[in-house]
């Protein structure tokens, strides 16, 4: 047997021709995060049918025969939950556990999607926002995927400018600190946050000020992000302990 024949034989599955249709489905899922009332939330929808009837699941659906992954996810989000205003979208991971769906094997590719605090998307009645620290009973392996997404966002906040997708176009340092704290899960110093982000040229002052607080005092400076696209701001953050702002 020639080496070419051997190579072809090595990819054949018993009982299945190499040119036959695929044996399992591929779905796309969205881990949609938004900081709401100072708490990190994720968007879920309630399943109406088995398996996992009445449990909560990530929005998404099956990949179309001629679709790219990102395009398929955007379609499902727009059609099923009417969500189109996404500030950042990134592929998170692919799950291939044979037993993850009791109906048969389904490959799942998950994305993280970030929504700004100033938006309040209208979602269907079977869809709701839940705090990531207080999830309802979830379907399939979706709780695990949500936690993976949260860890990705936490990490990205330490070495990129990804927070631009979580806040309005303009904001105060206090506003930004609340978003960082909600995502990181611990308190941080507003002064240190301001110092780090200004030194990295991540944010710039608009030279405007916010409305004075009710008790008086100096109005807060209003800032904006220098860029509204992802940029690595600290390439060496990976060598530091997790959940720490770089100096």
Extract the tokens encoding 29.
Answer: 């899922």
pLDDT the model gives residue 14: 44
CA dihedral sign, ordered 222, 83, 59, 64: negative
What CATH number does the domain containing 125 carry? 3.90.79.10
**Rounded to the nearest 5 degrees, what angle is found at the Cα of 109, between the Cα atoms of 165 and 106?**
150
Same domain for 167 and 128: no
Same domain for 144 and 35: yes
Same domain for 211 and 189: yes
pLDDT the model gives residue 214: 64
Extract the tokens encoding 104.
Answer: 């048969």
Which residues sit opposite 30 in a β-bridge? 111
Widest pairwise Cα distance in the chain: 86
The number of beta carbons lying within 10 Å of the beta carbon of residue 146 is 22
| Site of tokens 């695990």 | 144
Extract the tokens encoding 109.
Answer: 């590719």
At which of 129, 152, 175 does a domain end? 152
Per the structure, the count of domains in the chain is: 2
Per-residue pLDDT of the chain (247 residues; tens, 9 = 90+): 444 444 444 344 444 444 555 578 999 999 999 999 999 999 999 999 999 999 999 999 999 989 999 999 999 998 888 888 899 999 999 999 999 999 999 999 999 999 999 999 889 999 999 999 999 999 999 999 999 999 999 999 999 999 999 999 999 999 999 999 999 999 999 999 999 999 999 999 998 887 766 666 678 999 999 999 999 998 876 555 555 444 4
Residue 163 lies in a domain: yes
Residue 186 lies in a domain: yes
pLDDT the model gives residue 9: 42
Tell me the pairing of strands 221-225 and 203-209: antiparallel
**CB-count burial class (<10 Å; 0-12, 13-18, 19+) for 52:** middle
Residue 10 lies in a domain: no
Range of the domain at 90: 25-152
Numbers of helices and strands, H then E, in the chain? 5, 9
Phi then psi dihedrals of residue 64, to 5 deg = -70, 155
For 170-184, b where at least 16 C-beta lie within 10 A, e where not — what string? ebbbebbbbbbbbbb
Residue 9 lies in a domain: no
pLDDT the model gives residue 209: 86
Same domain for 226 and 143: no
Q: Which ranges constitute the DSSP H helices of 22-114?
A: 69-80
The number of beta carbons lying within 10 Å of the beta carbon of residue 159 is 17
Strands (E), the chain: 25-36, 39-46, 56-57, 60-62, 88-95, 106-115, 127-131, 203-209, 221-225
Residue 206 lies in a domain: yes
Extract the tokens encoding 106.
Answer: 């389904």
């Amino acid at each position: 047997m020639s080496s070419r024949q051997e190579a072809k034989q090595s990819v054949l599955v018993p009982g299945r021709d190499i040119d036959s249709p695929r044996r399992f489905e591929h779905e796309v899922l969205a881990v949609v995060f938004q900081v709401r009332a100072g708490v990190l939330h994720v968007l879920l929808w309630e399943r109406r049918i088995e398996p996992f009837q009445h449990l909560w699941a990530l929005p998404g659906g099956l990949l179309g025969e001629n679709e790219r992954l990102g395009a398929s996810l955007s379609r499902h989000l727009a059609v099923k939950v009417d969500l189109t205003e996404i500030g950042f979208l990134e592929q998170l991971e692919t799950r291939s556990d044979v037993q993850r769906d009791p109906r048969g094997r389904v490959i799942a590719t998950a994305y993280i999607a970030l929504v700004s605090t100033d938006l309040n998307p209208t979602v269907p009645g079977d869809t709701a926002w839940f705090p990531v620290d207080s999830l309802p009973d979830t379907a399939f392996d979706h709780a695990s995927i949500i936690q993976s997404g949260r860890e990705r966002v936490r990490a990205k906040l330490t070495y990129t400018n990804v927070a631009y997708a979580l806040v309005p176009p303009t904001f105060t340092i206090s506003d930004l600190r609340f978003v960082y704290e909600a995502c990181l899960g611990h308190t941080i110093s507003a002064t240190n946050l301001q110092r780090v982000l200004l030194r990295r040229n991540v944010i710039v002052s608009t030279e405007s000020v916010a409305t004075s607080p009710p008790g008086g005092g100096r109005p807060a400076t209003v800032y904006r992000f220098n860029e509204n696209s992802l940029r690595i701001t600290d390439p060496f953050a990976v060598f530091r302990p997790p959940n720490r702002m770089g100096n």
